[in-house]
Amino acid sequence: MPLAGVRANMGNGSHRLLSQLLLNQGVVSEQDIDEAQRRQETSREPLGQVLMNLGVLNQRELDLATRAQARLRGKPEKARAHLLVVDDETEVGAVVGDILAGAGYSVGVAQTVDEAIAALLASDTAKPALIVLDLNMPGKSGLEILPIVQQLGGHPIPVIVLTGRADMEEQVRAQSPHVRGFLPKPTGARDLVRAVEAVLNEAPVPAA
């Protein structure tokens, strides 16, 4: 998925995760966001509320987006580095996130490729030091994130692939130099933490 397929530059310091999530999910348009931002300058209301006032967003859509926003940001306080876990299986993502959080990392969890891309593009979220990526997801494959990572610029974000498709390792490694690890799914907590630490110890950590 090329960067042209998502809104990479939202302007006016408004390149925010909530906006990016809503845009990627097709809930609102760029024109809706622009109009809401203009109204924010005088109303000072939260972006989501302004979009609801415009009639382009309902409460359920806002609730879903804000929950995703909180899940993607994780809890950065007192953490060694921020990691992004991408897995469509809610329980698997939560377990992997809990394991890595227990190892001292701040962890955001994306349940779709669109959520992951929103987290990577939004300027108000910590850029992950590493991505733990599931490949086999409904809709868009996890492989679609790899070109986005390559186009971000700055420090390369290393990727550890977590999948039940061991036969795809050669193809995935050839497609992206950012893939630095390949773990079977399921994998043990100790092996997961060791793999993350090994990659981070050899890779520069991107600035938040």
Structural domain spans, the chain = 3-67, 72-202
56 and 32 in contact (C-beta within 8 Å)? yes
pLDDT value for 154? 64
What does the pLDDT read at residue 14? 39
153: Cβ–Cβ under 8 A, 6 or more apart, which residues?
A: none
Residue type, 201: N
Q: Indicate the class that CATH gives domain 72-202.
A: alpha beta
Q: Whose CA is closest to 128, among 81, 95, 183?
A: 81
Q: What are the start-end ranges of the H helices in 54-110? A: 59-73, 90-102
CA distance 141 to 132: 14
Residue appearing with tokens 């995760």: 17
> For 10-49, how does the pLDDT look when each residue is reduced to its tens digit (9 = 90+)?
433 334 888 888 988 888 999 999 999 888 888 878 888 8
Confidence at residue 95, expressed as pLDDT on a 0 to 100 scale: 93
Structure confidence at residue 195 (pLDDT): 93
> Which regions of the chain are under pLDDT 70?
1-15, 75-79, 151-155, 166-167, 169-171, 173-175, 203-208
Task: Note if the pTM is more than 0.85.
Answer: no
- Which pLDDT score, from 0 to 100, does residue 40 have? 86
Rg of the Cα trace of the chain? Answer: 17
Q: How far apart are CA 83 and CA 72, in angstroms?
A: 10
Q: Residue 173: CB partners within 8 Å, gap ≥ 6?
A: 179, 182
* Cβ proximity of 54 and 47 under 8 Å: no
Residue 166: the pLDDT is 67
pLDDT for res 84: 94
pLDDT at 175: 66
- CA 22 centroid distance within chain: 14
